Structure 1
Amino acid sequence: MTDALTGLPAFSFQWPSMLWLLALVLLLTGAYVWLDARRRRASVPYPTLKTVGLAIRGGARWRRHVAPALMLLALTALIVAIARPQAVMMLPSRIETVVLVIDLSGSMRAQDVQPSRIRAAQRAAKTLLDAQPAGVSVGVVAMAGTAALAQAPIRRKEDVATVIDNLKPQGGTAIGNGLLIALTTLLPQLGSDAAQLLDDDDSPAKAAASRKAAKGQQASPGSTGGADAAKPGSYAAGAIVLFSDGESNAGPAAMQAAQLAAANGVRVYTVGVGTTEGVVLTVDGWSARVKLDEQVLKQVADATGGEYFRLEDANRLKQVYRALNARLAFDKRDQVEITAFFAALGALLAACAGMLSLWWFGRVV
């Protein structure tokens, strides 16, 4: 995943020159150690009083160091706060819409993932659906030899789950079509751009040539969007999740759709369903070995700032869903000032020092 903040330090300060004040903490620490040693020397000429004091106070000698130590830590935290620290953190992306693209091609009938690829994809989609917050709208795109919006984005999870359950395998695979339909569902203003890609790919020969050209190279993010192209992954309001075995044989190349998504900042997360070894599938007397084509799925995810996941075993369904849901929920890196944290920490340590001193010795430090 590309990120504009990758080169920034994980922790930095806006006013680093203020950190010189930490020398004051060292001076105060040295002064406290010197005064404590001086008090100890002063008690030597009066061994009787020293013995009485130890008998009265017992094991509480260490307590007199706790409050000063906490005060020094509080001062350190406040000085760090003055330097205005900032950190690069993962923040909620405030995602509003998720469009699920589910591959319904004939190869999704294969049972190298139990009970079958299509059923495993449906289960994964429904698990991801259930994990979305109530305010997130979820849509479904059915993808086979062509693609169509099976369910417009809505917040009623039960309706979306019903649509997912009713999806049936068909013929052909048009990953590019599926991505374009999902993309225009998120950003309707891209309808003309998507239509142009579809019109430019009106013949099987042209489609094959386009896919062959895209197969050997990584799409350059933002290359379709011109000078005003957004950074890949910068669109935080929505995302696309593609469940497929990656074998595309119709429509525009998947990388063409990925370039358009990248140019508009839309992330596409891809989930590969199946095994790379594949399995021999027999349908209506026709037999062929169908394998998981990870290359195109990885390229689509990388080009758009998303991530690729592999679902080759139904037992790993929860693991994949947790990782994917975590990306959807927290997928925005930003540099955040954390001065308030250190200021609050300093105030808390100072308050604890005062209360403990008052409790043990009847005075505030």
Structure 2
Amino acid sequence: MTFLSPDRLWLLALAPILAGLYVVLQMRRRNYAVRFTNLALLSQVAPKRPGWRRHVAAALFLIMIVLMMIGFARPASSVKVPRDRATIMVAVDVSLSMMAQDVPPNRMEAAKTAAKKFIRELPSRFNVGVVSFAGNANLIAAPSADRDTAIASLDQLSLAKRTAIGEAVFTSLQAIRTFDTQAAHDPPPAHIVLLSDGDNTTGRSVQEAIDASRAAHVPVSTIAFGTPYGTVDIEGETTSVSVNKEALKTLSTSTQGKAYEAADAGQLRDVYANIGSSLGFKTEHRDVAARYTGIALLFALAAGGASLVWFSRLP
């Protein structure tokens, strides 16, 4: 619970003062009766007082006053509201090491299958874009709500030499900054999901990518795709292509993303669930003063009803 006008809460200090005045007046009334009344004749002359009932109306009235004071301070409740501009960029490594068959049928096909499934299962309120990267990075599907275009772009991927992880992050950030006419001064909430099996071998460094992501407040979650036993045949030579998990983990943890290790496509199913709800929702404070005013009205009616029933008058 928060208050949109908390400075008005000082009025609550008046509630105990009112309660104290009521107690003082009741004590003075009792003392006055004792001082000026013949006690022997009091029970015969004066009608019997309703005792505790006479305080009920006053208590209900005081509660009403407190509720009205709280309502005047504009109490607000936190509500999660969907973010329509929320954007996820999927960056897919297409370096030659993705030919390794340690993840069947090979890392590239398994990564494409996993990325397609990931995109299909994203909530419809999310926009999604796709970046491919090897020696450089290319935006192959601009962020939008069009799932078919994003998925189709994955079928056009082709392998190339080297791995530019840093460039993939910069290209993704640029796509986010140009998402719509507002993006230049009000970029959409975004998250980058980067699938790779290697180390940064060309282009801007991972540290530069980290600095840019942190400046843009865009987390990067990484998926280390493959096993330590992968090999590929390049120009007749068999080359080991083990996954550099540490470099990917550094990128993710330094940008408040998460690092995953996926030895097979099936392990990618929970990636979206672990990204968190912060991307898809924002917290807003909505004024609920009317709720307190309504409750106060009920107490006012109760106070008036009790006074009319027991004393034939309004408090």
Q: TM-score, normalised by structure 1?
A: 0.57
**1:155 is matched with which residue?**
145
Q: How far off is 1:75 after superposition?
A: 3.5
Question: Contact 1:113–1:312 (CA<8 Å) still a contact in 2?
Answer: no
Structure 1 stretch displaced more, 180-189 or 96-105: 180-189
> Which structure: greater helix fraction?
1
- Are 1:280 and 2:226 matched, yes or no? no
Q: Distance in 2 between matches of 1:50 and 1:317?
A: 79
Q: How far off is 1:243 after superposition?
A: 1.7
- Are 1:350 and 2:312 matched, yes or no? no
- 3-state SS in 2 of match to 1:291: coil
**1:223 is matched with which residue?**
none
The 1:19–1:32 alpha-carbon spacing in structure 2 relative to 1, beyond 3 Å, is: same
Q: Distance in 2 between matches of 1:66 and 1:114?
A: 76
The 1:286–1:22 alpha-carbon spacing in structure 2 relative to 1, beyond 3 Å, is: same
Q: Percent identity?
A: 22
Q: Which runs of 5+ in 2 are unaligned?
A: 34-41
Q: Distance in 1 between matches of 2:90 and 2:272?
A: 13
Q: Distance in 2 between matches of 1:235 and 1:299?
A: 24
The 1:258–1:38 alpha-carbon spacing in structure 2 relative to 1, beyond 3 Å, is: same
- 3-state SS in 2 of match to 1:173: coil
- Are 1:178 and 2:168 matched, yes or no? yes
Q: Distance in 2 between matches of 1:143 and 1:21?
A: 62
**1:312 is matched with which residue?**
261
Q: Distance in 2 between matches of 1:312 and 1:238?
A: 25
Q: Distance in 2 between matches of 1:40 and 1:171?
A: 97
Aligned residues: CA RMSD: 5.1
Q: Distance in 2 between matches of 1:78 and 1:188?
A: 43
Q: How far off is 1:19 after superposition?
A: 4.2
- 3-state SS in 1 of match to 2:229: strand
Q: Distance in 1 between matches of 2:174 and 2:104?
A: 31
Q: Distance in 1 between matches of 2:107 and 2:276?
A: 23
**1:3 is matched with which residue?**
none
- Are 1:68 and 2:61 matched, yes or no? yes
**Residue pairs, 1:1-365, within 5 angstroms:** 16=7, 18-32=8-22, 67-68=60-61, 70-78=63-71, 80-81=73-74, 95=85, 97-105=87-95, 106=97, 109=100, 119=110, 122-123=113-114, 126-127=117-118, 130-134=121-125, 136-164=126-154, 167=157, 171-187=161-177, 235-237=186-188, 239-245=190-196, 247-260=199-212, 265=216, 267-274=218-225, 278-284=227-233, 286=238, 288=240, 290-299=242-251, 302=254, 306-312=255-261, 317=268, 319-324=270-275, 326-330=277-281, 340-341=287-288, 343-357=289-303
Counterpart of 1:243, as a letter, is L
Q: Distance in 2 between matches of 1:171 and 1:252?
A: 16
Q: How far off is 1:65 after superposition?
A: 7.5
Counterpart of 1:326, as a letter, is S
Counterpart of 1:307, as a letter, is Q
Question: Contact 2:98–2:107 (CA<8 Å) still a contact in 1?
Answer: no
The 1:241–1:164 alpha-carbon spacing in structure 2 relative to 1, beyond 3 Å, is: same
Question: Contact 1:280–1:287 (CA<8 Å) still a contact in 2?
Answer: no
Q: How far off is 1:267 after superposition?
A: 2.0
- 3-state SS in 2 of match to 1:181: helix
- 3-state SS in 1 of match to 2:16: helix
Q: How far off is 1:361 after superposition?
A: 6.1
Q: How far off is 1:324 after superposition?
A: 2.2
**1:219 is matched with which residue?**
none
Structure 1 stretch displaced more, 167-176 or 138-147: 167-176
Q: Which runs of 5+ in 1 are unaligned?
A: 1-9, 190-229
Question: Contact 2:136–2:168 (CA<8 Å) still a contact in 1?
Answer: yes
Bigger Rg, structure 1 or 2: 2
- 3-state SS in 2 of match to 1:24: helix
Deviation per residue, 1:91-148 (Å, 9 max, x gap): 76653654321223425857589996873675366435543444x5422111233332
